[in-house]
Amino acid sequence: MNFLTAVSTFALACSSVLAHPSGDIPTLEERQNGIVVTSGAGGSTVYPRLEVRQMKDTRPNQYALLVLAMQRWQSQSQSSQTSYFGISSIHGVPRQNYNGVGQCQSCGGTDGYCCHDSVHFPAWHRVYVALFEQEFLKLVKTIANEYPDSQKSTMVAAANQMRWPYWDWAAKPPAGRPHLPKIVTDYEVTVNGPKGTTTFRNPLFRYDFTDSSGMYYSPFTTWKRTYRYPSTNGVNADSQTQSATNAFNNVRQSLTDQIYQLFTNCHDYLHFSNDDAGSSSAGCSLSLESIHNTIHSTAGGTGQGSVSAGHMFYLPTAAFDPLFWLHHCNVDRLFAMWQTLNPDKYGAQQVAPHSTWTIAQGSTQGPSSPLTPFYKNTNGQFWTTNDVRDWANTFKYTYPEYSNSDGSKASITNYINGLYGPNGNKVAGSSKREAALLDNLNLDVLKDVPDALADALPSNPLAAANGTLFQYFANVQSPRYALGGSYQIFVFNGLPTSEDPMTWIFDKNLIGPIGVVAQEGMEDSKLITSNQIVLTRALQGLVDGGALSAMTEAIVAPFLTKNLQWRILGPKGNSIDPGTVEGFVVSIFASTASQPSSASVLPEFSEFIPLLDVTKGQSGGANQTLTQYISDLL
């Protein structure tokens, strides 16, 4: 039975399941009908999802189970709804029902159930990763039981405490290591398996399709495996792994600063959750989703002229790359941390700007709307945003920041300052139990600001007379679907070294990239996405290096007017003049941030003041206020 036949069988069976009055236990008939219920990791104990490098370094048995289970899972039949292929296909292509959950009447032409530009973005992906983890762990446990008796109890214990890992793409990598972990780029892995030492193709590096004809888009329908920075569109393409590695090394700092900006400036759910400009403000002109998009574009690669970018770059194909799952696990972790910082804020309503497989454009989505196709039970009920607020008790996982501390707002803030703050000194996966200690290190937060607290604050070139630190931002509004596919925006200090668009992600003058992840066929959607590149650190570096005398507006504004550059790399690998893209606008904002007295509080920002003159009159620059641009467009 191929996948198509399989899902139509499920669709036929679905109505009887929905009507079934039974309780929690599926009948044999229901199980045969293949309705997949999402219940998460299961068991009674909550275990942490580990950073993937931390897992490999400190839990070799779990790492062995990770790659062995992924290898076996990826080799399961594509027609199974719970195979790696089956779970990955929920997100986008193939254009098929999952769990028998049919397309809405006006939802033609959409690719899958994934919720983007949507208030469902954080919670929908939370349930999605929980389903992935649930099916993954079944194989982990099976494999643990295959070890010889001398090792079995150790491996079973490792399996029982295991959860799906995350890749912290916002934190500094451990010293001397690339930002994109070798764990996902090595071609082969060698681990201790049930039959002894075994070497095989790394299942975190790529997924091999048995049949890619359902991928809908060219060249994805002919490619036999997932790619990052593919070398050609041909069937014998290779991933250019070194390019992916170099690109991530070059953009990591911008990601760190963006995540810190998200935690410090986005305090309501709508602003935080997604990148629809209708939900943005000057200080929070980014979102969990907009930052997450840049991981997709940086991992997939820019394409090269006529060569397509890889699977991660496009929403319909992204979930087939194993990196997607490590990435989205981190997205969920950041969501959890944000929840702790903003305990009273959860859920919001939003009108869907475009359709998904089941959500009609224009319909209102809220915290109790169904997150299709994820069944909560066999009675036909779907999970909702409200249902998954308490991730740990609902799905039996948490993150090291919680298992290593009391999980309070102060403790989580400590981790955020240490991992992502302006002078944070922690590396990814190092969230040990030291939250209490960090409180005593509060002066360390200021270590690049000599004598900032001691005296003479007004003479600190980075600080205002009242002691707050100057901050600058490039807010970028862009029409998400206008270019007929995913594209990238790059913000530079000075001209890029080369005008060849393929080099921009690697350019030494790059301050930060923005990935705008889209798909063909949605050009009608007028959706404007909000993004923000934090300029503060680059400018502080110039002050440190003597190129700028201070961070005051009188000095920075003219400097940026002269030096700030931005470029758009279009879906076909070509440079696009920003002035020709209706709705695209770069505007610069200034603010100042308080210097917190302790590492368990976050800085507070003063009002965000537009510096319209900086980009005025330039192609894609701001000639009027952003509110005016957006109301003109919509």
What single-letter DSSP state applies at residue 579?
A: G
Q: Would you count residue 597 as binding ligand NAG (CB under 6 A)?
A: no
Q: Would you count residue 561 as binding ligand NAG (CB under 6 A)?
A: no
Smallest gap from Cβ 548 to ligand NAG, in A, equals 17
Nearer to ligand NAG, 162 or 527 (CB): 527
What tokens appear for 296 in the block? Answer: 């997709």
Q: Would you count residue 459 as binding ligand NAG (CB under 6 A)?
A: no
Q: Which residue type, as a one-letter code, is found at position 349?
A: Q
Task: Tell me the C-alpha distance between 549 and 500, whole Å.
Answer: 32
- Residue located via tokens 């102060």: 410
Category of 229 on φ-ψ map: left (φ > 0), alpha (ψ -120 to 50) or beta: left
Smallest gap from Cβ 603 to ligand NAG, in A, equals 11
Part of the chain binding ligand NAG (CB under 6 A), chosen from 61-69, 378-386, 503-511, 615-623: 615-623
Nearer to ligand NAG, 176 or 617 (CB): 617
Q: Would you count residue 404 as binding ligand NAG (CB under 6 A)?
A: no
Q: Would you count residue 601 as binding ligand NAG (CB under 6 A)?
A: no
Pick one of 273, 468, 486, 519: the residue that binds ligand NAG (CB under 6 A). Answer: 468
Pick one of 366, 619, 630, 633: the residue that binds ligand NAG (CB under 6 A). Answer: 619
Enumerate the H helices of 145-240 as residue ranges: 149-160, 182-185
Q: Would you count residue 264 as binding ligand NAG (CB under 6 A)?
A: no
Task: Tell me the C-alpha distance between 344 and 317, whole Å.
Answer: 35
Nearer to ligand NAG, 495 or 609 (CB): 609
Cis check for the bond before 353: say yes or no (omega within 30 of 0): no
Pick one of 224, 579, 597, 628: the residue that binds ligand NAG (CB under 6 A). Answer: 579
Q: Would you count residue 441 as binding ligand NAG (CB under 6 A)?
A: no
Smallest gap from Cβ 288 to ligand NAG, in A, equals 26
Nearer to ligand NAG, 27 or 466 (CB): 466
- C-beta atoms surrounding 304 within 10 Å: 19
Classify burial at 217, counting beta carbons within 10 Å of its beta carbon; exposed 0-12, middle 13-18, buried 19 or more.
Answer: middle
Nearer to ligand NAG, 386 or 623 (CB): 623
Residues 6+ away with beta carbon under 8 Å from 459: none
Smallest gap from Cβ 621 to ligand NAG, in A, equals 5
Q: Would you count residue 625 as binding ligand NAG (CB under 6 A)?
A: no
Smallest gap from Cβ 198 to ligand NAG, in A, equals 57
Q: Would you count residue 501 as binding ligand NAG (CB under 6 A)?
A: no
Nearer to ligand NAG, 155 or 528 (CB): 528
Smallest gap from Cβ 592 to ligand NAG, in A, equals 5
Category of 34 on φ-ψ map: left (φ > 0), alpha (ψ -120 to 50) or beta: left
Part of the chain binding ligand NAG (CB under 6 A), chosen from 140-148, 220-228, 535-543, 619-627: 619-627
SS (H, E, C) 372-431: EEEECCCCCCEEECHHHCCHHHHHCEECHHHHCCCCCHHHHHHHHHHHHCCCCCCECCCC
Part of the chain binding ligand NAG (CB under 6 A), chosen from 233-241, 463-471, 482-490, 494-502: 463-471
Pick one of 341, 464, 542, 555: the residue that binds ligand NAG (CB under 6 A). Answer: 464
Nearer to ligand NAG, 364 or 623 (CB): 623
Q: Would you count residue 592 as binding ligand NAG (CB under 6 A)?
A: yes
What tokens appear for 542 in the block? Answer: 């110039």
Strand-pair partners of 51: 166
Nearer to ligand NAG, 315 or 626 (CB): 626
Q: Would you count residue 595 as binding ligand NAG (CB under 6 A)?
A: no
Pick one of 522, 568, 569, 585: the residue that binds ligand NAG (CB under 6 A). Answer: 585
Smallest gap from Cβ 585 to ligand NAG, in A, equals 4
| Number of residues in contact with ligand NAG under rule CB under 6 A | 12
Pick one of 623, 625, 628, 634: the residue that binds ligand NAG (CB under 6 A). Answer: 623
Q: Would you count residue 621 as binding ligand NAG (CB under 6 A)?
A: yes
Q: Would you count residue 479 as binding ligand NAG (CB under 6 A)?
A: no
Smallest gap from Cβ 464 to ligand NAG, in A, equals 4
Task: Tell me the C-alpha distance between 19 and 16, whole Å.
Answer: 5
Smallest gap from Cβ 420 to ligand NAG, in A, equals 23
Smallest gap from Cβ 459 to ligand NAG, in A, equals 15
CA distances from 625 to 135, 391, 612, 616 (A): 49, 40, 8, 11
Question: Which of 250, 307, 184 has its CA nearest to residue 503?
Answer: 250
Q: Would you count residue 620 as binding ligand NAG (CB under 6 A)?
A: yes
Part of the chain binding ligand NAG (CB under 6 A), chosen from 38-46, 196-204, 524-532, 618-626: 618-626
Nearer to ligand NAG, 207 or 473 (CB): 473
What tokens appear for 280 in the block? Answer: 């943005």
Pick one of 190, 408, 466, 549: the residue that binds ligand NAG (CB under 6 A). Answer: 466
Interactions with ligand NAG, residue window 353-382 (CB under 6 A): none
Nearer to ligand NAG, 408 or 623 (CB): 623
Per DSSP, the chain holds a count of helices (H) and strands (E) of: 19, 16
Task: Tell me the C-alpha distance between 340 and 34, whole Å.
Answer: 36
Question: Which of 243, 223, 194 has its CA nearest to residue 69?
Answer: 194
Part of the chain binding ligand NAG (CB under 6 A), chosen from 25-33, 166-174, 462-470, 484-492: 462-470
CA distances from 353 to 170, 275, 282 (A): 28, 11, 21
Pick one of 606, 612, 630, 633: the residue that binds ligand NAG (CB under 6 A). Answer: 606
CA distances from 88 to 51, 82, 132, 462 (A): 21, 9, 8, 47
Strand-pair partners of 307: 304
Nearer to ligand NAG, 500 or 582 (CB): 582
Signed CA dihedral, 440, 441, 446, 450: sign only: positive
Smallest gap from Cβ 528 to ligand NAG, in A, equals 12
Category of 173 on φ-ψ map: left (φ > 0), alpha (ψ -120 to 50) or beta: beta
Nearer to ligand NAG, 78 or 529 (CB): 529
C-beta of residue 116 within 8 angstroms of C-beta of residue 517: yes
Task: Tell me the C-alpha distance between 483 and 518, whole Å.
Answer: 9
What tokens appear for 316 in the block? Answer: 């319909």
Pick one of 45, 344, 617, 631: the residue that binds ligand NAG (CB under 6 A). Answer: 617
Task: Tell me the C-alpha distance between 127 and 121, whole Å.
Answer: 10
Q: Give residues in contact with ligand NAG (CB under 6 A).
A: 464, 466, 468, 579, 585, 592, 606, 617, 619-621, 623
